[in-house]
Chains A and B, each alone.
Chain A
Amino acid sequence: MQVLLSSNQLSETVHQLAAQLSSRHTDLDDVVFVGIQQGGVVVGNDIVTSIQQNNSSKKIQYGQLDITFYRDDIRNEILTPDTMNLPFAIENKTVVLIDDVLFTGRTIKAALDVLLDYGRPAKVELCVLIDRKEHRQFPIQADYVGVTVQTNKTDKVKLVNKEVVLITR
């Protein structure tokens, strides 16, 4: 097991992503943030808290999205769903999807499918903490990337106890 981001580096990366998002979206009224269960919600909580600290006047709209019912490999293994919570309309809003690791792109494809069942956003952006760029299986790229890492396809990259670790198989 190798540590890709220590706890300090993780928090620094989160602040950088929050700063990038804040500078791109000066008007937060038309933006909603959505963390993808489960890792994306952990990262999303930290990013949204950081943005909120710098924009204390406005309440940031933040929800959690679960892709369990939309997975394309659902028949291989029936998984238990996580909580889905989008307590706002996404119609004509800019939705910033947040995930911990961008790998094959299949999770993001499923997340887009979920999102479109809630309405028609004006725009969807993607923010990820870690990009495993060379393993993409769908034409999906992130708009905001914390760190790009070189990995083998069989490796696992995970958030464990406030650190990002690489588990080699």
Chain B
Amino acid sequence: MQLSTRHLLGIKNLTTEDISLILSTAAQFKEVLQRPVKKVPSLRDVTIVNLFYENSTRTRFSFELAEKRLSADTINFASSSSSAAKGETLLDTVNNILSMKVDMVVMRHSASGAPHFLAQHIPAAIINAGDGINEHPTQGLLDAFSIQEKTGTLAGRKVAIIGDIMHSRVAQSNIYLLKKMGAEVTVCGPPTLIPKYISEALGVSVNYNLKETLEWCDVANVLRIQLERQNQVLFSSLREYSLAYGINRNLLDSLHKEIVIMHPGPINRGVEMDSDVADSKQSIILQQVENGVAVRMAVLYLLSGRN
């Protein structure tokens, strides 16, 4: 079986077969990561550039580790310390890197659609590591993998996505993926952070009440408040946000069931989630990080064929 695409630009254009293939391959890579030698030679003839035009810790490390576990050669690019700071265009930078015989490009960019633009202009396989407020497909895949691993299935699972939906590429990738795989999705947050027509556009439910949403769901994926993407005041203060939408121990204890807590990181502790929630046994936040490496190995492996 092969993926239907040669790039991973978003979940939007993946088929359910693609998603299942990536998730089942990731399960095999997770086994690789438990071995004494956590490395396979699959990509030893492949060179990958990690092109990060925007800050990242988790995703960049996760991709780099995945590449190394697959025996690929890697080069890292951070825009702040490169010629991009001297005014070189994206396409020029990439073409210069490709002339050094690079096979795959992992890219994060603050402009939505940047990896799609690149895919039209260069021959290498492109993997989107987050583009603006559009998509973060590998995060969507690792979240789905983690939900499936923890709860057994995606189909019929009730997943709440809580917080800043408006500016979140994680939310968008999660919604596309979960809907394709038959899960039910409710988004929850202040009305100013939820796009007005999201229900019609993406087929999700909207609930502005946190307690009701948590009572409904099996899994709560809690997003970070992205202060860097907001150029207007969408809620009055972090304290007020935390009072209305922060998840704390008392709230979880008041529910009639135990739900799974997820967060893509980095956590604003005390804002969207309290420490005793983030560090509780209901939380699978660190498993998400661990699974991220296996999922990214699967994506890199499946896209590494030469057409």
Q: Are B305 and A77 in contact (CB under 8 A)?
A: yes
A80 and B305 in contact, given A117-B36, A117-B37, A118-B36 (Cβ under 8 angstroms): no
Q: From residue 41 to 84 of chain B, which have CB atoms closer than 8 A to chain A?
A: 41-42, 45
User: A75 interface residue, CB < 8 Å from B?
Assistant: yes
Q: Are B41 and A113 in contact (CB under 8 A)?
A: yes
Q: Are A84 and B31 in contact (CB under 8 A)?
A: yes
Interface-side segment among B20-28, B106-114, B180-188: B20-28
User: A70 interface residue, CB < 8 Å from B?
Assistant: yes
Choice from A78, A83, A113 contacting B304 with Cβ under 8 Å: A78
Choose among B24, B39, B305 the residue with the greatest number of A CB atoms under 10 Å from its CB: B305
User: B32 interface residue, CB < 8 Å from A?
Assistant: yes
Chain B residue at smallest Cβ distance from A72 = B41
Q: Are B24 and A80 in contact (CB under 8 A)?
A: yes
Q: From residue 179 to 212 of chain B, which have CB atoms closer than 8 A to chain A?
A: none
A81 and B304 in contact, given A69-B41, A118-B35 (Cβ under 8 angstroms): no
A75 and B35 in contact, given A69-B40, A81-B25, A81-B28 (Cβ under 8 angstroms): no
User: A66 interface residue, CB < 8 Å from B?
Assistant: yes
Q: From residue 69 to 90 of chain A, which have CB atoms closer than 8 A to chain B?
A: 69-70, 74-75, 77-78, 80-84
A68 to B28, CA, bound (A): 10
Q: What is the size category of the interface that chain B forms with chain A?
A: 20 to 34
Q: Are B45 and A70 in contact (CB under 8 A)?
A: no
Residues of chain B within 8 A (CB-CB) of A84 are 28, 31-32
The 0/1 profile, CB within 8 Å of A marked 1, for residues 115-128 of chain B is: 00000000000000
A82 to B24, CA, bound (A): 9
User: B97 interface residue, CB < 8 Å from A?
Assistant: no
A83 and B2 in contact, given A69-B42, A74-B42, A113-B41 (Cβ under 8 angstroms): no
Q: Are B36 and A70 in contact (CB under 8 A)?
A: no
Residues of chain B within 8 A (CB-CB) of A69 are 28, 32, 40-42, 301
Q: Quote the shortest CB–CB distance from B238 to chain A (angstroms).
A: 45
Q: Are A117 and B39 in contact (CB under 8 A)?
A: yes
User: B302 interface residue, CB < 8 Å from A?
Assistant: yes
Per the CB 8 Å criterion, the residue count for chain A at the interface is: 17
Chain B residue at smallest Cβ distance from A71 = B42
User: B233 interface residue, CB < 8 Å from A?
Assistant: no
Residues of chain B within 8 A (CB-CB) of A74 are 42
A74 to B42, CA, bound (A): 7
A119 to B208, CA, bound (A): 54
User: B85 interface residue, CB < 8 Å from A?
Assistant: no
A78 to B24, CA, bound (A): 14
A16 to B42, CA, bound (A): 37
Residues of chain A within 8 A (CB-CB) of B39 are 117
A119 to B37, CA, bound (A): 8
Q: Are B302 and A70 in contact (CB under 8 A)?
A: no
Chain B residue at smallest Cβ distance from A79 = B1
Residues of chain B within 8 A (CB-CB) of A113 are 41
Q: Quote the shortest CB–CB distance from B230 to chain A (angstroms).
A: 41
Chain B residue at smallest Cβ distance from A82 = B28
Residues of chain A within 8 A (CB-CB) of B305 are 75, 77-78
Q: Are B21 and A80 in contact (CB under 8 A)?
A: yes
Given A75-B45, A75-B304, A75-B306: 5 more A-B contacts, CB < 8 Å: A69-B42, A78-B302, A78-B305, A84-B28, A113-B41
Provide 23 A-B residue pairs closer than 8 Å at the C-beta atoms, listed in order of the A residue.
Answer: A66-B28, A68-B28, A69-B28, A69-B32, A69-B41, A69-B301, A70-B40, A70-B41, A74-B42, A75-B306, A77-B305, A78-B2, A78-B301, A78-B302, A78-B305, A80-B1, A81-B25, A81-B28, A82-B28, A117-B36, A117-B37, A118-B35, A118-B37
Top 10 nearest A-B pairs (CB, nearest first) are A69-B40, A117-B37, A78-B305, A81-B28, A69-B42, A80-B1, A84-B31, A75-B306, A74-B42, A117-B35
